[in-house]
Structure 1
Amino acid sequence: MKTHIVGEVMNGDVVCASRETSSQEVLRLLNRHRIRALPVVDPDDKVVGVVSGTDLARGRPARTRTGRGRRFPLPGLRRSTRGSAATAVGELMTSPAVTVHPEQRVSDAARMMERHRVDRLPVVDEEDRIIGIATRRDLLRCFVRTDEEVRRQVIEEALPGALGLASGGVTVSVRDGMVVLDGCLPRRSDIPSVIRSTWRVDGVVGVVNHLEFEGDGCRPWPHGESP
């Protein structure tokens, strides 16, 4: 089953700032490159935060973010280090930054964006050095698929991969990326495997489980339980 990863869609040409970069310089960079935010890096190109136009507008001291994303030298890296009397980025940036690894799945990165309410993620190596940037638009390119394409991949790849056999007995319908699974499976333990495998298909935004398992006839998945 083809699964897209962040390294396949990221942009390797990244505009960065340092902690000492002035707010005026960051604003100039945002306007010049028509972007909403940029990573803040230390002298070793390690990501220490992110600064956005909203941060500059608020003009308040640095705030912290709960939680921590996973962290993965960059040709053409452009960093502004010009200081000024204005507030330095280190006082305004959001830290720590939510970052992703190039080998993470695009679907996982998209969920991180949604969870943290951001529209771009710095991509870093195993030493937290920046190697690219992944925007919401970059990730969405992988999800431009018809419902029929998603349905076909669930039937032809996800279900056989989870069950080790043909998908007979399971009915799959898809609408706007939402997959509905109906049918009866031989074993209760098959149900969570099928759901996990379906979630891995690019373009799936949700899974509705109506699957049942055999016993004294088919029985629905116990109410309130999740696989």
Structure 2
Amino acid sequence: MRRLLVRDVMTTDVRSVRRGTPFKDIAVMLAERRIGAVPVVDDERTVVGVVSEADLLDRELVPHRWWEWRRRRVRDGGVAGELMTQPPVTIGAEDSLVEGARRMAREHVKQLPVVDRYGKLVGIVSRSDLLRIFVRTDEELREEVVHDVFGRVLWLPEERARPLVAVADGVVTLTGELERASLVPIAVALTRRVPGVIDVVDRLTFATDDTAP
């Protein structure tokens, strides 16, 4: 089975800004495209920072001369280079979706610019993109378990494999008899790895115990 990667779910039609892009233009872009952040790139499309909604918010804080000066500067014409978070938190297109989710959680961000090996922008991935793998129908999950787990890996004919697999609300129940005991944990482990599977209920039995000494 192929592991799902960031490139499988990322958005390639991604907008970016330059260091000199004005505050107002960034705010309009975020609002019109309904996105929470935008990458800042240089002339070579290398990601140098990220401007998020949080960076643009005019927070209400206790008055302070420095802070009031910065608030006025943002309102009066701050640019991306002054507002962006740097260094940027990015991810590679060939990284796994699990790594993408971990990085978002660790860095407390909702979007990650996707870069190639040279740091150049190729896309963007959001939390909603990562969640898409769980929005699969039970029938889609069942077909993948039957064909990929039991067919391609365990070499079980479809007519024998199909009765073994039932799916309800993302939970896969494996019921029936396999030829050898050693195949049971393999079937369960591979089924858990299918993108979108929430849990696996193991009710498999075996004809021969090949694990006993």
Structure 2 length normalisation: TM-score?
Answer: 0.63
Matched, 1:29 2:29: yes
Match of 2:88 in 1: 96
- Distance across 2 between alignment mates of 1:44 and 1:153: 41
SS at match of 1:15: coil
Alpha-carbon shift at residue 187 of structure 1 (Å): 4.0
| Structure 1 unpaired stretches of 5+ | 60-83, 220-227
Structure richer in helix, relative to its length: 2
**What is the letter of the counterpart of residue 145 of structure 2?**
V
1:61-76 alignment runs, 5 A limit: none
Match of 2:47 in 1: 47
**What is the letter of the counterpart of residue 176 of structure 1?**
D
CA contact (8 A) 1:10 1:132 kept: yes
**What is the letter of the counterpart of residue 166 of structure 2?**
S
Residues 1:10 and 1:216: Cα distance change in structure 2 (over 3 Å): closer
**What is the letter of the counterpart of residue 118 of structure 2?**
E
Alpha-carbon shift at residue 45 of structure 1 (Å): 1.3
1:211-222 alignment runs, 5 A limit: none
- Distance across 2 between alignment mates of 1:104 and 1:13: 19
Residue from 145, 159, 175 that aligns with 1:154 = 145
- Distance across 2 between alignment mates of 1:58 and 1:194: 53
- Percent identity over the alignment? 34
Matched, 1:177 2:170: yes
CA contact (8 A) 1:100 1:121 kept: no
CA-based RMSD of the aligned residues comes to: 4.1
Alignment deviations for residues 12-60 of structure 1 (CA, whole Å, 9 cap, x no partner) = 332112345444442232123332211122332122333211232277x
Residues 1:26 and 1:127: Cα distance change in structure 2 (over 3 Å): same
- Distance across 1 between alignment mates of 2:43 and 2:117: 17
CA contact (8 A) 1:41 1:49 kept: yes
Q: How many residues are paired up?
A: 191
Alpha-carbon shift at residue 118 of structure 1 (Å): 4.5
SS at match of 1:210: strand
SS at match of 1:44: coil
Match of 1:164 in 2: 155
Residues 1:157 and 1:109: Cα distance change in structure 2 (over 3 Å): same
Alignment deviations for residues 175-223 of structure 1 (CA, whole Å, 9 cap, x no partner) = 32233445565244752x434532453433x23353667699699xxxx
- Distance across 2 between alignment mates of 1:173 and 1:18: 51
Match of 2:67 in 1: none
1:108-187 alignment runs, 5 A limit: 108=98, 111-112=101-102, 115-116=105-106, 118-138=109-129, 144-166=135-157, 168=161, 171-182=164-175, 186-187=180-181
CA contact (8 A) 1:98 1:121 kept: yes
Match of 1:207 in 2: 199
| Structure 2 unpaired stretches of 5+ | 60-75
